[in-house]
Amino acid sequence: MLRSKAFSLLKPIPLMFGQSNLACIHPAIASYGHRCHRSPVDYRQRYKTYSAGEQTISASHTKVMAEDLPGVLILDIGGTHGVLENLAVLLKKHFHLITMKEFLENKKEMSKKIQSVFVFECRPTIDRELLESLPNLKVIGNSGVGVDHLDLKMISNFGVKVTNTPHAVADPTADMAMALMLASARRLVEGCQIAVSPDTKYFAVDWLGVEVTRATLGIIGMGSIGYKVAQRARAFNMKILYHNRNRRRKEEEEAVGAHYCEKMEDLLQQSDFVMLVVNLTPETHKLIGKKELGLMKPTATLINISRGAVIDQDALVEALQKKIIRAAALDVTHPEPLPRDHPLLRLNNIIITPHIGTATVQAIRMMAEEAIANMLAVLNGQPIPSEVFPK
């Protein structure tokens, strides 16, 4: 709902990809993956520069017929063509769009044409049956960074590559992390409800918040999103702790004033805000359970912008009910959405948003562009900016 509303505001914009010539992908985009791995900030900078200078070439200038382009199967995600209209415009520059409906109606002909599948964010998934019916499939372009919804091993056994969009998601997701932290700390949602309630006799002292400024933030998962959260938190003079599989370089730690905690337990015990920014893998499944929640301060807040299954939700319900921790702010849950009678929805010390970390006009477009660049690289046998490998 929120996504489609946001998207309806999106006006046609100059497109980064010029013509439907598969070789004409802008070199800045074709190569950003390599450099951006080290310096993700670069990408947005360069994106601005190039998109501003790029000439708009509308679909009518396209000489190549859609049928001549490699087929991309769009798994239905809404919109009139099975894909949001504005994403369709971007994709059509380089691909012959085939919706699931078209595929199912004319499977014999369509299945041969399809060389790529575009997956919008983290849904839906791709099963063996679909893979078996696409003999020419070469790449699945996931729009979004998390690929926990895809069976990477099975896909790779079909000789199909999977790509994701780590660069496009980093800033908006880090912004969302800050929004959740601030909203929970200052009890923004309750404040809104009170402000619009018919009862005008309310006293702020009855629902005091806590301060983010100078508080201790513990970031679990210091990849590019985690690091961007740290950059933002520094502006709030927060003390930053982090736990990650690999320690960041000294210069990177110093740039944001982050302190490494080798043991996650130390971070949990010391933090006022614990921020989860890890990928969902078998190792991080229910990473935060009863024991971990018990280590947190009773005044601490848990924020999750990764995946719902990283938290043992039953343990979280109990911790929030018994005030073992102060509050939680979740952009992700398991499942999504939660069943309407789920106990998490009945608590007042929680904020839940419907997985909107990347639901911005800019991010959705940039994710699509990053996914397109990846898919074209695979189809053209060029270096792939962001490929994901099975473990």
- Asked if 292 is part of the footprint of ligand DGY (rule: CB under 6 A), the reply reads no
- State residue 216 phi and psi, 5-degree precision: -100, 125
CB of 32 to ligand DGY, least distance (A): 17
- Contact positions with ligand DGY (CB under 6 A) in 119-178: 121-122, 144-146, 169
User: Which member of 149, 336, 342, 387 is catalytic?
Assistant: 336
Between the alpha carbon of residue 6 and those of residues 48, 188, 309, 360, the distances in Å are: 21, 22, 27, 7
Contact 148, 334 (CB under 8 A): no
CB of 326 to ligand DGY, least distance (A): 25
CB of 263 to ligand DGY, least distance (A): 27
Nearer to ligand DGY, 103 or 120 (CB): 120
Q: Give the one residue of 358, 360, 374, 386 binding ligand DGY; rule: CB under 6 A.
A: 358
User: Which member of 307, 326, 365, 370 is catalytic?
Assistant: 307
CB of 119 to ligand DGY, least distance (A): 10
Contact 310, 287 (CB under 8 A): yes
Candidates 143, 168, 11, 167; CA nearest to 89 is 11
DSSP state of 24: G
- Does the annotation mark 355 as catalytic? yes
Nearer to ligand DGY, 150 or 320 (CB): 150
Nearer to ligand DGY, 218 or 357 (CB): 357
Nearer to ligand DGY, 121 or 272 (CB): 121
Helix axes 188-196, 166-185, angle to 10 degrees: 60
- Asked if 303 is part of the footprint of ligand DGY (rule: CB under 6 A), the reply reads no
Nearer to ligand DGY, 103 or 118 (CB): 118
- Does the annotation mark 307 as catalytic? yes
- Asked if 369 is part of the footprint of ligand DGY (rule: CB under 6 A), the reply reads no
CB of 359 to ligand DGY, least distance (A): 8
- Asked if 293 is part of the footprint of ligand DGY (rule: CB under 6 A), the reply reads no
Report the residue number whose CB is nearest to ligand DGY.
146
- Asked if 116 is part of the footprint of ligand DGY (rule: CB under 6 A), the reply reads no
Angle at 34 between CA 246 and CA 390, to 5 degrees: 60
- State residue 219 phi and psi, 5-degree precision: -100, 120
- State residue 258 phi and psi, 5-degree precision: -95, 140
Contact 243, 258 (CB under 8 A): no
- Asked if 221 is part of the footprint of ligand DGY (rule: CB under 6 A), the reply reads no
- Asked if 328 is part of the footprint of ligand DGY (rule: CB under 6 A), the reply reads no
CA atoms within 13 A of residue 241's CA, in its CB half-sphere: 20
Nearer to ligand DGY, 293 or 359 (CB): 359
Tokens standing for 300?
């601490």
- Asked if 357 is part of the footprint of ligand DGY (rule: CB under 6 A), the reply reads yes
- Does the annotation mark 38 as catalytic? no
> What is the DSSP secondary-structure string of 260-316?
E-SSHHHHHHH-SEEEE-PPP-TTTTT-B-HHHHHHS-TT-EEEE-S-GGGB-HHHH
CB of 50 to ligand DGY, least distance (A): 23
Q: Which residue is associated with the tokens 């947005």?
A: 44
Q: Contact residues for ligand DGY (CB under 6 A)?
A: 121-122, 144-146, 169, 357-358
Active site residues: 307, 336, 355
